[in-house]
Amino acid sequence: MSFSVPKGWEKDSDKLYIHNSGVRIQFMTYRAKEGWYLVPTDLDQPVLEFEPTPEGREKAFEAFGKGVLNVKTRKKAPAVAVTEPAKKRGRPARPRPEADEEEGKEGEPGDEPKDKDKDKDKEKDKDKDKDKDDEEDEEDEEDEDDDS
């Protein structure tokens, strides 16, 4: 008896069949048991186990066909048409932008090094932390006054 892959399924190997929805029927060891497994794409659904025989594989396909899994079909990405390279079409190659020679020079307006900006940000953060510490100290002093 010959086995043929049902419509909508793709044979990846002798032990792996993938449905266009992403569901798999796979011969593997799962939870220390070898067999054919119907593996859903939704992780909330259980993996279904079938006998480790050709009959088990066929039962897995039958179970899927009967709708034991709640499956949403996914759309395949459209095939990308392969075109000729730009040179063969006669289109000239795009010129590459040249590196700006003066890019690394300092002293131009508006081109301050980023390190200074980072230092300013660090100073602001320190000031904020200092303000928070001062506020906490004031609260502690008020609490002590209330306790006396």
Averaged pLDDT, 131-141: 66
Q: 3-state SS of the chain: helix, strand, coil percent to 5?
A: 35, 20, 50
The answer to whether residues 35 and 52 touch, using CB atoms and an 8 Å cutoff, is yes
Share of the chain above pLDDT 90, in %: 39
The answer to whether residues 93 and 86 touch, using CB atoms and an 8 Å cutoff, is yes
Q: What pLDDT is stored for residue 106 in this prediction?
A: 53
Q: What pTM, to 2 d.p., does this model score?
A: 0.48
Instruction: Report residue 61 as tokens.
Output: 């396909």
Instruction: Report residue 16 as tokens.
Output: 């792996």
Nearest to 25 by CA among 61, 54, 67, 1: 61
Q: In this model, does residue 34 exceed pLDDT 80?
A: yes
Give per-residue pLDDT as tens, 77-111. 555 555 555 455 566 667 777 655 555 455 555 55
Q: What pLDDT is stored for residue 57 in this prediction?
A: 96
Written as one string, the DSSP assignment of 68-87 is -S---PPPPPPPPPP---HH
Q: What pLDDT is stored for residue 145 in this prediction?
A: 56
| Pairwise pLDDT comparison (68 vs 137), residue with the higher score | 68
Tell me, what DSSP letter sits at residue 96?
P
C-alpha dist (Å) from residue 42 to 12, 18, 21, 23, 73: 20, 14, 11, 9, 12
